[in-house]
């Protein structure tokens, strides 16, 4: 276990307040400190255990994702007895969406606890949600289901989950628009092309056509973002027809 002690010592030297900050976030004292060190260790550190297994937060994300889905599913099952499987699945997706998890990670300031060889300013937005999932996974493995459930209620359900608000929340305008088009038998096409212009970063433009008529245009730094932006504009153009799907 000397490699674990070395990691803990390295962490303590780099950030003496790590476990104090962590205790404030958790609301309880960790038992297995090494799990939480792993939950905030980026793969760029290239740390391995004696068996050659990577010591970073990526596997903990998998556990955290499963625990979030489990606890949120049980909560929705109890709170919305009239909801069928499709409704419950859609509502759970809204709670554990990447956008929402990123917001949770940001609110808790989790990126400040990361140990990485990459400057924090270089991380993408998803780092916040990834860390939140890893933290949930560490809690489950450290203290079990009950502690994990209590943390999710404290940090996710109680402050953020409101059934009526969720029912009106759109996760992906593109998915919603496609669902509506398919239901109404409308044809649709996303014509995406590279559009650098005078920008330093590469940009993409998209023309969204419904029934062979261009209904919206958008431009962004990735194809996915451009399509989502165009879909959002199209959504507001057809809001009355689409709203019933939300």
Structure pTM? 0.71
Distances (CA, A) of 90 to 9, 167, 171: 44, 9, 9
**Same-domain check for residues 129 and 189:** no
Do residues 11 and 107 share a domain? yes
Range list of H helices, the chain:
2-14, 18-26, 33-39, 58-79, 85-95, 98-107, 126-143, 145-152, 158-160, 163-167, 173-184, 223-237, 239-242
- CATH number for the domain including 101? 1.10.1520.10
Domain that holds residue 14: 2-167
Q: Are residues 28 and 71 in the same domain?
A: yes
Whether residues 147 and 195 share a domain: the answer is no
Q: Known catalytic residue: 133?
A: yes
Q: Which of 118, 137, 167 is the last residue of a domain?
A: 167
Could you tell me if 184 and 162 lie in one domain? Answer: no
210 and 135 co-located in one domain: no
Judgement on whether residues 96 and 216 belong to the same structural domain of the protein: no
pLDDT tens digit at each of 246 positions of the chain: 444 455 555 454 445 588 889 999 999 989 999 999 999 999 999 999 888 999 999 999 999 999 999 999 999 999 999 999 988 998 999 899 988 999 999 999 999 999 999 998 889 899 999 999 999 999 999 999 999 999 999 999 999 898 888 877 777 888 889 989 999 999 999 999 887 666 667 889 999 999 999 999 999 888 888 998 999 899 888 888 787 665
Tokens of 212: 């062979």
Are 161 and 183 part of one and the same domain?
no
Q: What is the CATH number of the domain that holds 215?
A: 3.30.160.20
Q: Are residues 161 and 51 in the same domain?
A: yes
Looking at the structure, tell me whether residues 148 and 201 fall in a common domain.
no
pLDDT of residue 70: 97
236/188 same-domain check: yes
In whole angstroms, how far apart are CA 52 and each of 27, 48, 60? 33, 5, 17
154 touches 178 (CB < 8 A) = no
Considering 65, 142, 227, 228, which one is annotated as catalytic? 65
What is d(CA 176, CA 3) in angstroms, rounded to the nearest whole number?
49
- In the annotation, is 65 catalytic? yes
Could you say which of 113, 144, 167 is where a domain stops?
167
β-partners of residue 205 are 193, 219
Domain total in the chain: 2
**Phi, psi torsion values for 193, nearest 5 degrees:** -145, 155
Of 152, 167, 182, the position where a domain reaches its end is 167
Closest of 52, 35, 2 to residue 134, by C-alpha: 35
Q: How far apart are CA 4 and CA 35, in angstroms?
A: 10
Beta bridge partners of 190: 208
Of 14, 84, 99, 133, the active-site residue reads: 133
49 and 123 both lie in a single domain: yes
Which residues have C-beta within 8 Å of that of residue 160, sequence separation ≥ 6? Answer: 95, 100, 104
> What CA–CA distance (Å, rounded) separates 178 from 215?
14
């Amino acid at each position: 276990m000397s490699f674990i002690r070395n990691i803990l010592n390295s962490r303590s030297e780099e950030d003496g307040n790590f476990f104090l900050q962590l205790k404030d976030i958790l609301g309880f004292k960790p038992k297995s400190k090494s799990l939480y060190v792993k939950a905030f260790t980026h793969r760029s550190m290239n740390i391995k255990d004696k068996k050659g297994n990577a010591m970073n937060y990526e596997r903990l994300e998998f556990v955290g994702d499963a625990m979030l889905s489990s606890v949120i599913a049980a909560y929705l099952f109890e709170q919305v007895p009239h909801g069928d499987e499709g409704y419950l699945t859609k509502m759970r997706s809204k709670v554990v969406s990447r956008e929402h998890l990123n917001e949770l990670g940001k609110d808790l300031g989790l990126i400040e606890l990361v140990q990485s060889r990459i400057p924090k300013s270089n991380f993408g937005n998803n780092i916040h949600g990834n860390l939140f999932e890893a933290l949930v996974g560490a809690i489950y493995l450290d203290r079990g289901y009950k502690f994990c459930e209590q943390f999710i209620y404290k940090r996710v359900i109680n402050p953020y989950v409101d059934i009526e608000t969720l029912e009106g929340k759109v996760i992906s305008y593109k998915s919603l628009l496609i669902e509506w088009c398919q239901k109404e038998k409308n044809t649709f096409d996303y014509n995406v092309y590279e559009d650098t212009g005078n920008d330093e970063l590469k940009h993409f433009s998209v023309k969204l056509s419904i029934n062979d008529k261009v209904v919206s245009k958008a431009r962004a730094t990735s194809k996915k973002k451009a399509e989502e932006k165009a879909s959002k504009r199209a959504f507001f153009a057809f809001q009355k027809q689409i709203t019933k799907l939300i």
